[in-house]
Amino acid sequence: NAGVTQTPKFQVLKTGQSMTLQCAQDMNHEYMSWYRQDPGMGLRLIHYSVGAGITDQGEVPNGYNVSRSTTEDFPLRLLSAAPSQTSVYFCASSYSSGQGDYGYTFGSGTRLTVV
């Protein structure tokens, strides 16, 4: 069981370039989400999905797009990279126990630097 797989692990972009961060899960989880982690700010929600074909914005969505064509995959697209998007990005998938517990599994992260 691989869990949540993120690629690439490291990436350097030039300002204005676009790229896609890949995320795949093999646990058949309904929910998937993208967070960014910045020093002193914890993790902030970028976009999330409650199932294939359904996505919505989180706390910091500007400059990012997502789509969810399958249960397994939830790619994050940076449209035109800016230095402010330098961060560590985490993909997570989760389930609901139906009793208010949400079992999150995070990927190992993508460290992105925009120069």
Partner 1 sequence: QQQVKQSPQSLIVQKGGISIINCAYENTAFDYFPWYQQFPGKGPALLIAIRPDVSEKKEGRFTISFNKSAKQFSLHIMDSQPGDSATYFCAASRDDYKLSFGAGTTVTVRA
> C-beta of 23: minimal distance to partner 1 in Å?
11
DSSP characters for 30-73?
SEEEEEEEETTTEEEEEEEEEETTEEEE-SS-TTEEE--SSSSB
Report how many residues bind partner 1 under the rule CB under 8 A: 25
- Answer yes or no whether residue 109 interacts with partner 1 by CB under 8 A: yes
Q: Which of 7, 93, 105 is nearest to 50 (CA)?
A: 93
Q: Which of 80, 84, 103, 115 binds partner 1 (CB under 8 A)?
A: 103
Residues numbered 13 to 32 that lie near partner 1 (CB under 8 A) are 31
Q: What is the binding site for partner 1 (CB under 8 A)?
A: 4, 31, 33, 35, 40-45, 48, 58, 90, 92, 94, 96, 100-104, 106-109
